[in-house]
Amino acid sequence: MTERLQLRQARRLVIKIGSALLTNDGRGLDVAALGLWVDQIAELIEDGVEVVVVSSGSVAEGMSRLGWTVRPEQLHELQAAAAVGQMGLVQTWEAQFKRHDIHTAQILLTHDDLSDRKRYLNGRGTLRALLNLGVVPIVNENDTVVTDEIRFGDNDTLGALVANLIEADGLIILTDQLGLFDKDPRKHSDACLVTERRAGDRELDAMAGGGAGVLGRGGMQTKLRAARLAARSGAFTVIVGGRIEGVIGRLRQGDVIGTLLLPEQGRIAARKQWLASHLQTRGRLTLDDGAVKVLCLGGRSLLPVGVKGVSGQFRRGEMVSCFDQSGREIARGLVNYDADEARAIAGRSSDRITEILGYMSGEEMIHRDNLVIV
């Protein structure tokens, strides 16, 4: 199946591991299983793949540490369990990755963090920096501060949002079933595994039951929704059994295991479409001829040195238009600096940004990933 080649070619992946799997169905963290996934992730990293782990399990691990056998109803009790359990979770990830001389970093996110443009950019910057440093970010929802309204509600959605955030090639969801079946396999012994579909395929809705296990919250419905969300930035999703021996390595080899849910369009096309259609422009940059030439060749970022003029009042992260000196629009993109800062660094070399502004939020005025030629 040629689509499985995408797994071999992926350079950046988000791997989400669900509560039921990680906590051995509630018996506390399954350190042995976690160690095996870490060995496989270390191999991916060795192979040049950047990996972000989205790890559930804090509530379940907290319950187990506190000796609770029934998931509490009260939000504060859940949050307390999560706070206790998160300690064990990150300690275990760090200890397991240490065997491979790989550092980990704890990232706790709320929905608000990703809907606020500035925090979104900062989160993305931090994740990128960690990946550049060869560190594996271990992401979970920030259960301590979330309330019902702002909860992701499940880590499947969080996994997809992180995949959007870092423009991952794919999202791998490890769960307690072999993949998505045409009906809930816990209830129907004749259920058949779905191997490959378009994420947007409406037939899938009827197949994915909402009910999750006792520990998890999502069920297959949230996994399907996550796949659709990931597809918006052109990422594929695989829903697959985390207990399959060598699961991550086998996916990487292109083995047909689990359910592959494909985006309607490729990553770059999806991103560019989003950039071109979703945002209003807030300002204008006038570029010198050199910058125009470089941008038109494609695949390059816009550096401050190529900017001759800045107009409008825009904030970092907002969309601006780029014009050549005859007034022709060349490109649009999400700018890395507020308007006043952009004015101060226009025409200057990137290595002077810190000296001029006192800080740097990227050597580019607009990063190539956030730039679309019009």
Ligand X SMILES: Nc1ncnc2c1ncn2[C@@H]1O[C@H](COP(=O)(O)OP(=O)(O)O)[C@@H](O)[C@H]1O
Ligand Y SMILES: N[C@@H](CCC(=O)OP(=O)(O)O)C(=O)O
Binding-site ranges for ligand X (CB under 6 A): 18-21, 175-177, 180-181, 183-186, 207-209, 211-213, 216, 218-220
Place of tokens 């494909």: 262
Q: At closest approach, how far in Å is the CB of 154 from ligand Y?
A: 4
- Residue closer to ligand Y (CB basis): 56 or 301: 56
* 208 interacts with, out of ligand Y, ligand X, none, CB within 5 to 8 A per kind: ligand X
Q: Which residue is nearest to ligand X (CB)?
A: 18
Measured CA to CA, the distance from residue 109 to residue 145 in angstroms comes to 10
Alpha-carbon gap, residue 63 to 216, rounded angstroms: 13
The tokens describing 271, both together, are 């991103």
CB of 281 to ligand X, least distance (A): 40
User: Which of 10, 12, 19, 229: binder of ligand Y (CB under 6 A)?
Assistant: 19
What's the sign of the alpha-carbon dihedral 215, 218, 167, 36? positive
Residue 343 contacts residue 357 (beta carbons within 8 Å): no
The nearest distance, CB 351 to ligand X, in angstroms, is 46
Q: Applying CB under 6 A, does 362 fall inside the site for ligand Y?
A: no
Residue 109 beta carbon to ligand Y: minimum distance, rounded to whole angstroms: 10
CA 343 → CA 270, 302, 314, distances in Å?
A: 31, 14, 11
Site string for ligand Y, 119-148 (x = CB under 6 A): ---------------------xx-x-----
Inter-axis angle of helices 219-232 and 267-278, to 10 degrees? 80
Least distance between ligand Y and beta carbon 208 (Å): 14
Among 124, 128, 217, 367, binds ligand Y (CB under 6 A): 217
Q: How many Å apart are CA 43 and CA 13, to the nearest integer? A: 13
Known binding-site residues for substrate equal 56, 143, 155
* C-alpha to C-alpha distance for 231 and 214, rounded to whole angstroms: 28
Q: How far is the CB of 85 from ligand X (least distance, A)?
A: 14
156 binds ligand Y (CB under 6 A): yes
Q: Determine, following the binding rule CB under 6 A, whether residue 216 of this chain makes contact with ligand Y.
A: yes
Which of helix, strand or coil describes residue 12?
A: strand
How many Å apart are CA 8 and CA 313, to the nearest integer?
44
In whole angstroms, how far apart are CA 228 and each of 113, 131, 171, 204, 304? 21, 25, 11, 11, 36
Site string for ligand Y, 50-79 (x = CB under 6 A): ------xxxxx-------------------
| Phi, psi (rounded to 5 degrees) for 235 | -90, 145
| CB of 58 or CB of 96, closer to ligand Y | 58
- With contact defined as beta carbons under 8 Å apart, do 243 and 285 qualify? no
Helix (H) or strand (E) holding 83: helix 75-98
Interface pick for ligand Y out of 44, 51, 52, 82 (rule CB under 6 A): 82
From the list ligand Y, ligand X, none, partner contacted by residue 196 (C-beta under 5 to 8 A by kind) = none
Name the one range near ligand Y by CB under 6 A: 93-101, 122-130, 151-159, 253-261.
151-159
24 touches ligand Y (CB under 6 A): no
Cβ distance to ligand Y smaller for residue 18 or 333: 18
Binding site for ligand Y (CB under 6 A): 18-19, 56-60, 82, 140-141, 143, 154-156, 212, 216-218
